[in-house]
Amino acid sequence: MSENEPDAPGLSLPWAADTFPPVTLAARRQVWDALMGLALHEATHALASDDVPVGALVVGPQGTLLGVGHNRREEGGDPTAHAEVLAIRQAAATLGSWRLDGCTLIVTLEPCAMCAGAITLARIPRVVLGAWDPKAGATGSVWDLVRDRAVLHTVEVIGGVREQECGDLLRGFFEERR
């Protein structure tokens, strides 16, 4: 099935042409930058409910958008309503399966331990992240739960995509609250 076929689940994205992710490093960088732009936009929606502005999306193996999410902990009083978890839930609903084999999670902030667990349990093979989280990150900075040898499913982590923009959004949010 081609990415452009109408029966591919999810929303078609303009850069999904034949292979996702793209084969060349230059093409991958362009796609990661574009996807992070979508995640950054999604993160701004969290500001309406005074949530930490984190945005995430899940892209399927055919390059289609399967799920989006932004933090909604304050909005719903739900400690598990992290952007990653919400995007993963939506992607699973779109596919009709909890197994997100071949999918890519794009997120503006390095996932925490809970989200890293959800990533491995959903079998997501790739995480593209913006800003690293030196206080609670669990994909390489404080812990590396997604690449731990004890975990049955390991994850490729691509960090620092549009890191400055992602970090600036978070810093601005917390500076306003001090």
**What HEC string does 41-95 produce?**
HHHHHHHHHCCCCCEEEEECCCCEEEEEEECCHHHHCCCCCCHHHHHHHHHHHHH
Q: How confident is the model at residue 3 (pLDDT cuts 50, 70, 90)?
A: very low
Torsion from C-alpha of 8, 104, 155, 163, nearest 10 degrees: 170
CATH of the domain at 142: 3.40.140.10
Q: Is 175 a catalytic residue?
A: no
The whole-model pTM stands at 0.92
State the pLDDT at residue 18.
61
pLDDT, one tens digit per residue, over 10-67 is 888 876 666 788 888 998 999 999 999 999 999 999 999 999 999 999 999 989 999 9
Angle between the N-to-C axes of helices 113-121 and 83-95, in degrees from 0 to 180, rounded to the nearest 10:
20
Cα(132)–Cα(129) distance, rounded to whole angstroms? 7
- For residue 38, being part of any structural domain is answered with yes
Catalytic residue among 75, 84, 156, 175: 84
With contact defined as beta carbons under 8 Å apart, do 155 and 126 qualify?
Answer: yes
- For residue 3, being part of any structural domain is answered with no
Residue 40's domain comprises 18-176
- For residue 140, being part of any structural domain is answered with yes
pLDDT, one tens digit per residue, over 145-178 is 999 988 888 899 999 999 999 999 999 999 998 8
- For residue 11, being part of any structural domain is answered with no
Which among 39, 46, 44, 33 has a CA at the least distance from the CA of 67? 39
Annotated binding site for Zn(2+), which residues? 82, 112, 115
State the pLDDT at residue 11.
86
Q: How confident is the model at residue 126 (pLDDT cuts 50, 70, 90)?
A: very high
- For residue 166, being part of any structural domain is answered with yes
Q: How confident is the model at residue 106 (pLDDT cuts 50, 70, 90)?
A: very high
- For residue 6, being part of any structural domain is answered with no
Number of structural domains the chain divides into: 1
State the pLDDT at residue 1.
41
